[in-house]
Amino acid sequence: MPFSMAGYELLHHGEGRWNGVAIASRVGLADVVTNFGDGPVRRAPGPESIADAMEAEASEASADEARMVSAMCGGVRVVSIYAPNGRAVDTPFYRAKLAWFERLARWLRETQDPAQPLVIGGDFNVAPDDMDVYDMADFVGATHVSPAERAEVAALREWGLVDAYRLHHPEPGKFSWWDYRAGNFHKGLGMRIDHLYVTKSIAERCTSAEIDRDARKGKLPSDHAPVYIDLAD
């Protein structure tokens, strides 16, 4: 109701407390897609070891969780995502994260056109470049910065997407997430893992891009700050 009273239509796809994605639009919502339009991904029967079972369970969970919703909004295909965290490198959860990104890339190749207006936004859980973290020495062997994860995001750019924030902010030291522990927000020890990736036609309309650090302040804030872009008509 609050969204409706403010003039927005709200599309949400969630699981309660854990996962969820949404789009709020004042220019309409049409042609809705959730979880890439796929049916449930089922585990192959009879894994022969505990490791196989864990691998299958992690992959199936990431595939079926509420991590993608999309709609046409005023002539733009808007995609809201929440990529899996991955937990730790070389675990079933990490490999499931890579598989989820491959699924995203496949959906783009099979159903979308880089010549058309499209925006993918949300928590990618990947810092695409060394300058997207405060100090790479503190992230050796960690998720979010591994070559394989970065390669998955690079594949999105190769398909035809542009990092809209970097159009206006090529400088390092700009972050969208800070660990709650040890006052990292106030120390400036963060990561840029929330992104808005756009096709060329949207990039040409992008007049500004910002991270709203003020939204991260206050009582009980999120550990993420909003990222936004402005588009010319």
Q: Tens digit of pLDDT for each residue in 187-233?
A: 999 999 999 999 999 999 999 999 999 999 988 889 999 999 999 99
- State pLDDT tens for residues 38-54: 844 333 343 445 455 55
| The predicted structure's pLDDT at residue 59 | 63
All domains in the chain, ordered by first residue? 2-231 (3.60.10.10)
Residues in the chain: 233
HEC sequence for the chain: CHHHHCCCEEEEEECCCCCEEEEEECCCCEEEEEHHHCCCCCCCCCCCCHHHHHHHHHHHHHHHCCCEEEEEECCEEEEEEECCCCCCCCCHHHHHHHHHHHHHHHHHHHHCCCCCCEEEEEECCCCCCHHHECCHHHHCCCCCCCHHHHHHHHHHHHHCCEEHHHHHCCCCCCCCEECCHHHHHHHCCEECCEEEEECHHHHCCEEEEEECHHHHCCCCCCCECCEEEEECC
The lowest-confidence range among 60-69, 95-104, 219-228 is 60-69
